[in-house]
């Protein structure tokens, strides 16, 4: 405690000095240094009971002082409990919300977030909603940093019933609607807040649904403005991240609506702007619920993904690749893809062509999707599934090992890593190991630390070695010599440089 009280005395002296000077830049600098030298745990004792109003009053002076004051207040206010914050500095925080300087607004918003999250502190401002009104108005601010913090702080009202009541069952709801009318951008910020709150619990979703905000958002899915439609789909996809959100959307018939929009996209020349979002919506749904159920219930989704994979437009191809990778990463998804027979074979061939000769970004996304589709965890390795992944690997090319090896030697680190990802996918499967040992000099390539020099490449190689060492069939299929060398590689870590190697490179330089 002695240290704390000395510190408290120092702070008090500095505050007095600051009050007595016109341009207290040095004094503020000293206070900032003093505050930063105290650990936050000891800071609470040192600053409790002190009056920092002088610092707040300096927020209305020149820019240099404002920056120092914000840094000081950030440090002090975090040390105070939310209750003492609201009891001592409510008026100042409210003033900060309308301050011309964004850093001051963000400071005030961040602290109000702490108050709102704490039931006892929240009780203090519920009877004085001016402060919450001002926070809602911040959502309409121009630069994104302020609205972002306002949304984050307001979303914490969802942690308690009194908070939800205040936001949705008082005049604050009308203020949200007024702010919404500012512009399309601001309207979507309010939706973002509502979706954020809806995700917290079924109860908070109930408040949002009863307040007409969500039905308004859902209505915009089929609005005339194509760009707004695309944004609405993104918001609805976020809403589907929680289970209660998905149930609600299903009850509202939104899955069918989006499926019909995919069907209708054929005849809409602008559909390329919102189609990717529609497909991502179902891709997320499939992963969270069940690939089979989603693909069988909404065949339009699966057909569209295959169609997009064969589309010439790189945006469409990209979304299709990511979605196929997602689907193919699960056993159930693999079985769904297999059931489509020739359709999927055509898509796999296209993926292989893209991996070998597309634009770099699409090549990387193809390689990632292929490795997800080929991955089988040891506990998933039934005879049927192993036969399936093996048959898919051989569909990639007449000589798939050579094809992937060629990609791995190209001078783009991300392609090198993508190729290693495919080798890692097949490394735990016996047929993959047999291909590795029968491919001339492949094991030398795996054990050679001089290939791939970037950190990412070394990590990717290390993952491949790890996959081989962890498989129960490696020692038998690859032979004990290779197995011992792989274990040594693993033990030495991803970034090991042998003494011999470093001596020989010195000579080379």
Using alpha carbons only, give the angle 242, 340, 265 rounded to the nearest 5 degrees.
Answer: 60
- pLDDT over 50 at 507, yes or no: no
- pLDDT over 80 at 357, yes or no: yes
Average pLDDT score over the chain: 92
Neighbours of 10 (CB within 10 A): 17
Q: How many CA atoms lie within 13 A of 264 on its CB side?
A: 10
Determine the average pLDDT of the residues in 127-154.
94
Residue 145, token pair as written in the block? 């940093």
Q: How far is CA 418 from CA 251, 337, 423, in A?
A: 41, 22, 9
Record the pTM.
Answer: 0.83
- pLDDT over 60 at 100, yes or no: yes
Residue 310 phi, psi dihedral angles, 5° rounding: -100, 0
Q: What are 201-217's pLDDT values in tens digits?
A: 999 999 999 999 999 99
- pLDDT over 80 at 231, yes or no: yes
- pLDDT over 50 at 1, yes or no: no
Q: What are 172-203's pLDDT values in tens digits?
A: 999 999 999 999 999 999 999 999 999 999 99
CB 269 within 8 A of CB 314: no
Q: How many CA atoms lie within 13 A of 474 on its CB side?
A: 22
CB 405 within 8 A of CB 393: no
> For the chain, how many residues are written?
509
With cut-offs at 50, 70 and 90, classify the pLDDT of residue 57: confident
Predicted local distance difference test score (pLDDT) of residue 41: 80
- pLDDT over 70 at 157, yes or no: yes
Q: What is the Cα–Cα distance from 342 to 152, expressed in whole angstroms?
A: 48
Q: How far is CA 436 from CA 125, 446, 457, 477, in A?
A: 67, 10, 19, 9
Sorted by sequence, the CB contacts under 8 Å of residue 171 that are 6+ apart come out as 129
Q: How far is CA 41 from CA 79, 174, 440, in A?
A: 8, 41, 62
Q: How far is CA 219 from CA 213, 214, 225, 380, 483, in A?
A: 10, 8, 12, 43, 60
Q: What are 297-340's pLDDT values in tens digits?
A: 999 999 999 999 999 999 999 999 999 999 999 999 999 999 99
DSSP label at residue 80: S
More confident residue, 282 or 19: 282
Q: What is the Cα–Cα distance from 435 to 491, expressed in whole angstroms?
A: 25
With cut-offs at 50, 70 and 90, classify the pLDDT of residue 375: very high
Q: What is the Cα–Cα distance from 175 to 213, expressed in whole angstroms?
A: 13
Predicted local distance difference test score (pLDDT) of residue 5: 67
Q: What are 70-91's pLDDT values in tens digits?
A: 999 999 998 899 999 999 999 9
Predicted local distance difference test score (pLDDT) of residue 94: 94
CA 444 from centroid of its chain's CA atoms: 38
Predicted local distance difference test score (pLDDT) of residue 38: 85
DSSP label at residue 375: -
DSSP label at residue 448: -
Determine the average pLDDT of the residues in 18-37.
88
């Amino acid at each position: 405690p002695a240290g704390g009280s000395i510190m408290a005395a120092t702070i008090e002296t500095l505050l007095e000095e600051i009050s007595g000077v016109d341009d207290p830049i040095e004094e503020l600098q000293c206070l900032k240094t003093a505050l930063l030298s105290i650990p936050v745990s000891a800071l609470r004792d040192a600053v409790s009971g002190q009056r920092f109003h002088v610092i707040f009053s300096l927020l209305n002076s020149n820019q240099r002082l404002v920056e120092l004051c914000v840094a000081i207040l950030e440090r002090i206010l975090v040390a105070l409990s939310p209750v003492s914050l609201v009891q001592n500095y409510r008026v100042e925080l409210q003033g900060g919300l309308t301050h011309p300087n964004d850093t001051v607004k963000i400071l005030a918003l961040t602290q109000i977030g702490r108050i709102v999250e704490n039931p006892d502190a929240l009780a203090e401002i519920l009877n004085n909603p001016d402060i919450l009104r001002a926070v809602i108005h911040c959502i309409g601010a121009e630069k994104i940093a302020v609205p972002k913090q306002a949304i984050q702080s307001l979303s914490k009202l969802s942690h308690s019933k009194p908070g939800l009541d205040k936001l949705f069952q008082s005049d604050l709801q009308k203020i949200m609607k007024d702010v919404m009318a500012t512009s399309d951008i601001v309207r979507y910020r309010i939706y973002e807040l509502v979706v954020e709150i809806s995700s917290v619990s079924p109860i908070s979703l109930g408040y949002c649904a009863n307040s007409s905000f969500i039905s308004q958002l859902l209505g915009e899915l089929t609005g005339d403005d194509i760009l707004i439609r695309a944004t609405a789909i993104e918001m609805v996809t976020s809403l589907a991240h929680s289970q209660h959100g998905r149930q609600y959307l299903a009850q509202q018939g939104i899955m069918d609506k989006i499926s019909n929009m995919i069907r209708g996209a054929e005849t809409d020349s602008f559909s390329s702007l919102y189609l990717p979002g529609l497909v991502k919506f179902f891709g997320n749904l499939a992963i969270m619920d069940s690939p089979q159920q989603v693909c069988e219930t909404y065949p339009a989704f699966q057909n569209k993904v295959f169609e997009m994979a064969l589309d010439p437009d790189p945006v469409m191809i990209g979304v299709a690749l990511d979605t196929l990778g997602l689907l193919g990463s699960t056993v159930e998804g693999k079985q769904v893809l297999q059931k489509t027979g020739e359709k999927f074979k055509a898509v796999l061939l296209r993926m292989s062509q893209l991996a070998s000769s597309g634009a770099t970004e699409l090549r990387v996304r193809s390689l990632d999707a292929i490795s997800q589709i080929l991955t089988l965890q040891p506990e998933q390795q039934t005879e049927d599934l192993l036969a399936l992944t093996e048959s898919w690997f051989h569909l990639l090319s007449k000589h798939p090992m050579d094809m992937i090896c060629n990609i791995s030697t190209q001078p783009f680190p991300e392609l090198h890593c993508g190729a290693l990802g495919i080798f890692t996918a097949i490394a735990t499967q016996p047929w993959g190991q047999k291909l590795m040992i029968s491919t001339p000099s492949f094991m030398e390539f795996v054990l050679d630390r001089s290939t791939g020099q970037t950190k990412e490449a070394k990590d990717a190689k290390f993952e491949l070695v790890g996959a081989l060492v962890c498989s129960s069939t490696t020692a038998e299929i690859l032979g004990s010599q290779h197995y011992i060398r792989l274990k040594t590689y693993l033990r030495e870590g991803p970034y090991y440089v042998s003494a011999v190697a470093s001596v020989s490179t010195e000579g080379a330089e």
